[in-house]
Amino acid sequence: MKKIQWLVFFASTLLVGIAQALSLPGPVVSAEWLAKNLAEVQIVEVRTDISSFTRSPEFVTDKATGKKSLSEVGGHIENSTLLNFKNARVERMLDGRKVKSLIPEQADFQKYIQAVGINANKPIILVPVGQDIADVDEALRMYWQFKVYGENQVAVLDGGMAGWLAEGRPFVLSPAAKRQGSWLAKEPRKELIATSEDVANASKNGSSQLIDSRLPMQYFGTAKKPDVGAYGHIAGAKQFSPDLLTKSVNGALYFFKPETYSALMIANGIKPNGPAISYCNTGHLASGTWFVISELVGNKSIQLYDGSAYLWTLEGRPLQGVPLN
């Protein structure tokens, strides 16, 4: 009997140790942490320029100082998986109309992630290119989609691949391995997704803060993306420009501390802990705002409006901006 008890105790201790070893330190991990835990996680390189996965990175040397700096990301971390962001969002039918750039349905997202080669029950580290806020937001959009479908063991590499290379860490140029993964999507967490009616109510009665995550020219209506059917922003929205989300260090983009984001939001008339809805043109840049408010500041009462200004105007809803010549 004692032997069996000792075996049970040993097995329980081993399982606890494994669980502890696999836990992530938070929604953001450093290159140093990742380098120490490569074997314990799944590394997923999120890119639009998939040819860069097997292309050598480019560096430039300052003639005066002789200092070498990264100019273009190339290559990837060994044993990483390539996720083509162009396939991450899909066209779906909403209320009888075709709407593009939306999060896939549960079964379709699971199929897509399995085809990428991602497995269940192993932490996922999303690696953006890390040189432009748009590519950082690609990883953050994937983070949000994983969260919607129940994945909690997911984080983003601070600085992305640009930061990894800038630190002189190793990379490889091997082609992306073809694997079939076992990752499973859970029922969608609808509390993370705002509908057009949610946005309309927030605009009308202030039930949630509307946060426009686009550039000032799009917020004020002096310019717009082709997909958006009108100029300006949704009535009542405050602006939080995407260039406020990160800082550049040695050519790579890194996140600020939570208190910095809180101060920036207050300066923009946004309550850091109040209910909020983030939107942009199609739901890409809004992912960055959602991430820093939800995951870094810790405000879990923020939603993302999937489809954003594109869907809003497709439904014939109005935007407001400055008078144009």
Q: Write out pLDDT tens, residues 131-167.
A: 999 999 999 999 999 999 999 999 999 999 999 999 9
What pLDDT is attached to residue 25?
97
Q: Domains for the chain: give ranges and CATH numbers.
A: 25-166 (3.40.250.10), 190-314 (3.40.250.10)
User: Does the reported pTM lie above 0.75?
Assistant: yes
Q: Write out pLDDT tens, residues 304-323.
A: 999 999 999 999 999 999 99
Contacts (Cβ under 8 Å, ≥6 apart) of 170: 77, 78
Q: In the chain, pLDDT over 70 holds for what percent of residues?
A: 93
- CA gap 157, 246 in Å, rounded: 13
In whole numbers, what is the pLDDT of the chain averaged over residues? 93
Q: Write out pLDDT tens, residues 115-133.
A: 999 999 999 999 999 999 9
pLDDT < 70 stretches in the chain: 1-22, 325
**Helix ranges, the chain (H):** 2-22, 31-36, 106-116, 133-148, 160-166, 196-205, 216-220, 258-267, 286-291, 308-314
What pLDDT is attached to residue 259?
98
Cβ atoms 271, 206 nearer than 8 A:
no
- CA gap 25, 18 in Å, rounded: 15
